[in-house]
Every structure is written in C-alpha cells, then in structure tokens.
C-alpha cells in the first residue's frame, strides 16, 4: 500500500548522440510519411521526439536538411531479399516479389516519397537529386540481379540504360498511384511487372543484337 508520499520520478536515461539523432530522425520520418511536407514543422518533430527545438537544429539545422536525411534513410533501406535461391523460383515470381516489396516501402512512406518527387521535378535541388540518383543506381543493380542480367548489364551500357529508363517510368507510375489516385496499388504492380518482364524477355535481347550488328568504329 502507498504511504501517501509522492511516487519517485522515473529516472531519465541519458541517450548517446547517435541514439538521440536516430530518435529524431525516426520521428521525422513518421511525420513526413503521414502528412504533406509543408504541414510538418521542426517544432512538431522536436516535440514528438521529446527534445528541444535547439537540439533538433543542432543535429539537422533546417527542416529541409532534416527532410533530406529522412529521404536518404528511406532510400538506403536494403531491398527485401527476393527468392533468388528458392528452388524453382521463376523470373516472374522473383520480379513480382521484388516489385511488391518496393511498393510496400513506398506505401509506408508515401508522403515522404511524394514530396521527394515533387521537389525533384521542380528542379534546382542538387542534393535531393544526388540522393535519388544514387537510389536509382542501386535499384538498377537490384533489378538486374533479380532477373539474372547483372553480367550483361556490365558488359552493355545500353542494357543498364534501359533499366534506368524503366526506373523513371516506375517513379512516374508511383506518382499516378500515391498522389493522383488514378491507379490502384494492384494496377501499379501489374503494370510494372509486365513492362519489366517484356523488357527482359523481348527488348534486352534485341538491344544486345543491335550492338553486335553494329559495324566496328573506324
């Protein structure tokens, strides 16, 4: 039973700088992913993270810098493994699994992704463009691995360019789903899957043939 004396306050645990930074970043990602970028403030993020506005500014500076850190973290998430080692897994199954994992990532971070696309399309944001370019390169590497064309993409720049073009289409398609609402997630999955399979089965072999048929320079 209580003796009437006030309960002791819980002991505040001192967090290490990296842990505190990660806590702020996690709260920022949650807010940026649930609401439009323009409606989220650093004051709100600081309150959600249980830190002062000054400490948040110490780690990240402006809201834009914090947002760029959130996008970097989102885009750095390792791709969910595809069943490349599963006995009998077809290319179609591997492609379907990979696309579903990507769509799930975007669905969980929809506002962050939409804001990144909007900022990038408006131009003039070299830092954000560099983050997305690096993410596109990783996506191309992952796609070629999924479909078993890593070696071919290294041998032929045209093949890698074709996959980069596909990644651009995937970004535009994600906007049609998440921002415009003109496609459902299932429709986006179908579109991206069938286009990628056609690229692998029909387009890439013909691209490679055009290179082989090209007369030698000089």
For the stretch 5-42, pLDDT in tens is 555 543 444 557 788 999 999 999 999 988 888 899 99
Alpha helix (H) residue ranges in 35-156: 42-49, 53-60, 63-75, 91-108, 110-122, 126-146, 150-155
pLDDT tens-place string over residues 46-55: 999 999 999 9
State both tokens at 103: 């769509």
Q: Among 27-31, 110-114, 193-197, 205-209, which range has the highest average pLDDT? A: 193-197
Phi, psi of 140 (to 5 degrees): -65, -45
At residue 116, does pLDDT exceed 70? yes
| Cα–Cα distance, 152 to 195 (Å, whole number) | 19
Neighbours of 189 (CB within 10 A): 18
Secondary-structure class of domain 17-72 per CATH:
mainly alpha
Structure tokens at 95: 């492609």
Stronger pLDDT, 170 or 210, i.e. the higher one: 170
Per domain, the residue ranges of the chain are 17-72, 78-212
Please give the average per-residue pLDDT across 166-171, as a whole number: 93
71 φ/ψ angles, rounded to the nearest 5 degrees: -65, -45
- φ/ψ (deg, to 5) at 199: -60, -45
pLDDT of residue 2: 44
Q: What is the rounded CA–CA span in Å between residue 62 and residue 129?
A: 18
Mean pLDDT computed over every residue of the chain: 85
**Which pLDDT band, with edges at 50, 70 and 90, does 99 fall under?**
very high
């Amino acid at each position: 039973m209580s003796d009437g004396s006030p309960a002791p306050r819980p002991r505040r645990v001192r967090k290490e700088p990296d842990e505190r930074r990660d806590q702020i970043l996690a709260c920022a990602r949650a807010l940026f992913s649930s609401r439009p970028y323009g409606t989220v403030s650093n004051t709100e993020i600081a309150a959600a993270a249980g830190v002062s506005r000054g400490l948040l500014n110490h780690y990240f500076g402006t809201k834009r810098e914090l947002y760029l850190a959130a996008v970097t973290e989102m885009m750095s998430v390792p791709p969910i493994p595809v069943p490349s080692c599963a006995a009998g897994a077809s290319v179609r199954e591997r492609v379907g699994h990979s696309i579903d994992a990507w769509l799930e990532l975007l669905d969980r971070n929809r506002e962050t992704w939409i804001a990144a696309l909007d900022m990038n399309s408006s131009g003039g944001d070299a830092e954000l463009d560099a983050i997305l370019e690096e993410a596109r390169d990783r996506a191309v590497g992952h796609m070629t691995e999924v479909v078993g064309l890593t070696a071919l993409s290294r041998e032929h720049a045209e093949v890698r360019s074709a996959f980069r073009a596909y990644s651009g289409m995937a970004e535009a398609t994600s906007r049609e789903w998440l921002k415009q609402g003109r496609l459902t997630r299932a429709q986006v999955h179908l579109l991206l899957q069938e286009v990628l399979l056609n690229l692998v089965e029909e387009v890439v072999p013909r691209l490679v043939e055009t290179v082989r048929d090209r007369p030698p320079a000089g």
